[in-house]
A and B are shown apart, each in its own frame.
Chain A
């Protein structure tokens, strides 16, 4: 009972925490390579140890908005037996935003207290 309550708290916190971070992982995935949506899906999944498993549909929607906001670009390559495949990569503006976002938000996790916390977790 105690365990399930703890899990519920952790899951709820994670649900809220993860909102907004899918963009971060997508940008990290495409910062150097031009990738298709299915490759981005796999890349995000690998980078996050399976914690993020977005659907291709949600990635399409997200990338369409990011394209409109000038954060990503795409090139088209011929598909195997259908329409052209879109290969997405980060635009120069997207790269700048990713670097600034990381400095302001991700670097915080390198604080000594956080490192100690993670070590404590490892010992357990």
Chain B
């Protein structure tokens, strides 16, 4: 199962933004604690981070060449998102003490794993993520 070029770009881009997000979020929380008031790091940054995921998924996913692979591309993007998020969580836990919450580290992969299984169950009858009723009218 060779990933498409867009999927690789999506993964690398979001891995970089995740590392930047975690780093700046830690800084933001530190400033917020010192000033006892929220700052742009903790208010705007999460929104920008979420938008990066959303827009990159939308643009790269929509423009991905579906013909060159035989697996479900939507499921592959979902899996890539989980791997990137897990790497981000791992990075945060190793580098920043404040993110070393065991509940967060344990429950995040479980929740994401459940979402992936649900996605797989919902699309396992599809070919390349296309429903048979829509492919063969």
Contact = CB atoms under 8 A, between A and B. Distances in A.
A20 B130 CA distance: 15
B127 interface: yes
Contact of B67 (A19, A20, A67): A67
B55 interface: no
B38 interface: no
Interface residues of B, number: 9
A25 to B, nearest CB: 10
B67 A70 contact: yes
Contacts of A20: 136-137
Contacts of A22: 137
A70 B130 CA distance: 12
A69 B137 contact: no
Interface string B25-64: 0000000000000000000000000000000000000000
A68 interface: yes
A22 B135 CA distance: 11
Contacts of A45: none
Nearest to B132: A20
A119 B66 CA distance: 47
Contacts of B67: 67-68, 70
Interface of A: 19-20, 22-23, 58, 62, 65-70
Given A65-B134, A69-B127, 20 more contacts: A19-B137, A20-B136, A20-B137, A22-B137, A23-B135, A23-B136, A58-B137, A62-B137, A65-B130, A65-B135, A66-B135, A67-B67, A68-B66, A68-B67, A68-B128, A68-B130, A69-B128, A69-B130, A69-B135, A70-B67
Interface of B: 66-67, 127-128, 130, 134-137
